[in-house]
Chains A and B, each alone.
Chain A
Amino acid sequence: MENENKKVLEVEDLRISFDTYAGEVQAIRGISFDVKEGEVVAIVGESGSGKSVTSQGIMKLLPTPPARYKSGAIRLEGKDITGYNRKQMEKLKGSKMAMIFQDPMTSLNPTMKVGRQIAEGLKKHTNLSKDKIHSRVIELLTMVGIPDPDDRANRYPHEFSGGMRQRVMIAIALACEPKLLIADEPTTALDVTIQAQILKLMDKLNEETGTSIILITHDLGVVAKMADRIIVMYAGKPVETGNKHDIFYNPKHPYTWGLLGALPRVDTDKKEPLKSISGTPPDLISPPKGCAFANRCEHAMEVCLEHDPAMQEYGEGHTAACWLHHPNAKEYLDQIMEKHSFGVGGEKYANQNAGG
């Protein structure tokens, strides 16, 4: 069913580097994905994996220089926006695509009343009259769950709590009903009970307005709750993509195994030590020749150090880049799979699906 949906965003082999004194940092080393209408796509990864650069690259928020678009194409609703200049982008920002950031404390203008900040986009992108804009602002504040919106519109950001500021950010982002909302760690700075409120709000807006969401996060719990599709990034590249069930119950890439294993399990004996991934991510000034994860991978083979594996498909929309799944490595993979179980509650999932 989802296949019939239109593609809102297509990213093709995007590569972005930063020129620094130490050399060229290859922050994004080739990422391709698309976002369909109404879909929530989560990009997961650790710091430095390139998830934020991807989103800022799409929004053209990176200062050039030092950032440099090396190759790739970005298409919004079929239109190539890769070469858009600042003026052209400004027309899109707010109206077609919008972004919310991690830190609601610093992303609002402290000297402007929130009502005016929400109205800004409406003034720029629509021909609504002053009264209409005002009523739309109140409508937006109500929609994102801010009590007493008439009064609140006339207040400054410092009079709001963190959760409330993030709601204001969402109201600003949604003011012109964008097709695409990029949320970069929207709840990381918030407490869990407030995070629950914000996630519920985003879920509701996604359902009601059909806005597609790119959700950037490091929290796999948030991913399990929100995402339709998941892109796992490592060292500037996706290593595995798939839907929730592919990634959580049938992961193919050892990095995904590692991420899931590093989480404390709720359903097993807590005294089992966590499976940590040893070492640290590679330096992207001189990325390794082979697979970027090889030096931290406990199953690495010789080929992994020499050749970078390509993305292979393992089911509809489920792809991973790992040599372990090459036919020549089958015996070795079988041995690994016998010893360990990867993913969360994989057995349970298998049982549930046994009937169908």
Chain B
Amino acid sequence: MRTKMLEVEGLKKHFHLSGGGVLKAVDDVSFYVYEGETLGIVGESGCGKSTTGRAVKGIYGITEGKVTFNGKNITSMNKRERKQFARDAQMIFQDPYSSLNPRMTVGELIGEGIDIHGLMRGKKKVKRIYELLDLVGLNKEHINRFPHEFSGGQRQRIGIARALAVDPKFIVCDEPISALDVSIQAQVINLLEDLQREFQLTYLFIAHDLSMVRHISDRVGVMYLGKLIEMASTEELFTNPMHPYTKALISAIPVPDPIQEEKRETIYLKGDLPSPMNVPSGCPFRNRCPIATKECAEEVPAFEEKTDGHRVACIHV
């Protein structure tokens, strides 16, 4: 049996706004990540995918629910365990322009984690930084340069080297490629895949680009307005989507193949994403759903297993 590295149960993250409202960014989300796999989380802006990633990494406090990493609850860890968790779980951010301190050199940026966790010093540390630079496809000479001297793709490589510096087991990749050009995206994705193979890393890969998520993930979860609405193995989700939102989402991505594109049918959803301040009662998707009925307004559909390993939250499936 495969071990679950990360288990999330009933995760809620609510933000209390200055006007007195409550923004339920993540509302009752449960999932797990097996050791060594890539779990993709997709959804549109405001669906709570990034908040989920941050809550899991422990950047945000959790409103309710439980996050267990390698059998330990991350909110009740002691100081030593917390530090170990901070080392084992790393994060790669979307914007390589704002996630690197502009006043630190590449060497300092990559070495920061090594210092904090007291892993190496002096020549050994420098050697390790050279190793990491080589690993992510940068040169030795880059060690004394500053982030502004690099392109977006190179900066993302620095971010990856920084995450790898402390030998993590688990990496939350929060839209790591959405700020990059197509040809550079492929470079970064290939790098992430190579590193995963080499170091047996586990990824939580958050993105809105479904075709990239399909490429890199073993399993995929779809979020809508703070809730997981469907989760299955990648092949199953893309060939047999059950939730009407997932169906619409997949059909909406234009395929870079004119003949297929012409044959395909796009499902057009009505209207816009409702504000997360004002989530519809019952099923959050019901006001845009093509098959919604009266019953959908009554209660939040349970996130149930319909076929083996394929979970869906819809009463009409």
Q: How many A-B residue pairs have CB under 8 A?
A: 124
Q: At the interface, yes or no: A264 with Cβ under 8 Å from chain B?
A: yes
Contact call B255/A266, Cβ cutoff below 8 A: yes
Contact call B257/A270, Cβ cutoff below 8 A: no
Contact call B254/A244, Cβ cutoff below 8 A: no
Contact call A348/B187, Cβ cutoff below 8 A: no
CB under 8 Å from chain B, chain A span 250-270:
258-264, 266-267, 270
B154, chain A: closest CB distance, angstroms? 8
CB under 8 Å from chain A, chain B span 144-192:
151-154, 181-187, 189-190
Q: At the interface, yes or no: B252 with Cβ under 8 Å from chain A?
A: yes
How far, in whole Å, are A222 and B189 apart by their CA atoms in the complex?
A: 22
Determine the chain B residues whose CB is within 8 A of the CB of A276 once the complex forms: 183-184, 186-187, 190
Instruction: For the complex, count residues of A whose C-beta is within 8 A of B.
Output: 49
Interface string of B241-274 (1 = CB under 8 A from A): 0000000110111111111110000101101110
How far, in whole Å, are A197 and B152 apart by their CA atoms in the complex?
A: 30
Determine the chain B residues whose CB is within 8 A of the CB of A164 once the complex forms: 272
A251, chain B: closest CB distance, angstroms? 12
Determine the chain B residues whose CB is within 8 A of the CB of A248 once the complex forms: 256-258
Contact call B44/A349, Cβ cutoff below 8 A: no
Determine the chain A residues whose CB is within 8 A of the CB of B90 once the complex forms: none
Determine the chain A residues whose CB is within 8 A of the CB of B255 once the complex forms: 221, 224, 266
How far, in whole Å, are A260 and B183 apart by their CA atoms in the complex?
A: 9
CB under 8 Å from chain B, chain A span 173-229:
191-197, 199-200, 218-225
23 A-B contacts, Cβ less than 8 Å apart? A46-B181, A163-B272, A191-B45, A192-B44, A193-B249, A194-B44, A195-B252, A195-B254, A196-B268, A200-B268, A218-B182, A219-B254, A220-B182, A221-B253, A221-B261, A224-B255, A224-B261, A262-B186, A274-B186, A274-B215, A277-B187, A280-B154, A348-B259
Residues of B within 8 A of A (CB): 44-45, 151-154, 181-187, 189-190, 193, 208, 210-212, 214-215, 234, 248-249, 251-261, 266, 268-269, 271-273
Residues of A within 8 A of B (CB): 46-47, 147, 161, 163-164, 191-197, 199-200, 218-225, 244-245, 248-249, 258-264, 266-267, 270, 273-278, 280, 344-345, 348-349, 352
